[in-house]
Copies of this chain bind each other. A is one copy, B any other.
Amino acid sequence: MQIKPIGLRVAVKPIKEEEITKSGIILPDTAKEKKAEGEIIAIGTDVKIKELGLVVGQRVLFGKYAGDDVKMGDEEIKILSCEDVLAVIEN
């Protein structure tokens, strides 16, 4: 079973906070809006998403409380408006 976001949205698998810290990025709690990290598992149907440079597999930064939470089997995923994706993290 797979999910295909509609329009200018992406589906992401959030990365647990302990894993994020190990990787070097710290998402300060003191920030105005708490941030989270995740991996893009599906991109939406709007062709503008490619212009934005978003592709499956990227690690992205977004507002922790943005978007919609859904559980697929055991996996928690988030459907985010592309507007809520702040940046891609490249290694």
Contact = CB atoms under 8 A, between A and B. Distances in A.
A52 B17 CA distance: 34
Number of copies: 7
Given A6-B52, A6-B54, A7-B82, A24 B72 contact: yes
Interface residues of A, number: 48
A31 B87 contact: no
Interface string A4-29: 11110101000000000001111110
B79 A86 contact: yes
Contacts of A89: 1-4
Interface in A43-78: 45-47, 51-54, 60-61, 63, 65, 68-73
Contact of A90 (B3, B23, B32, B53): B3
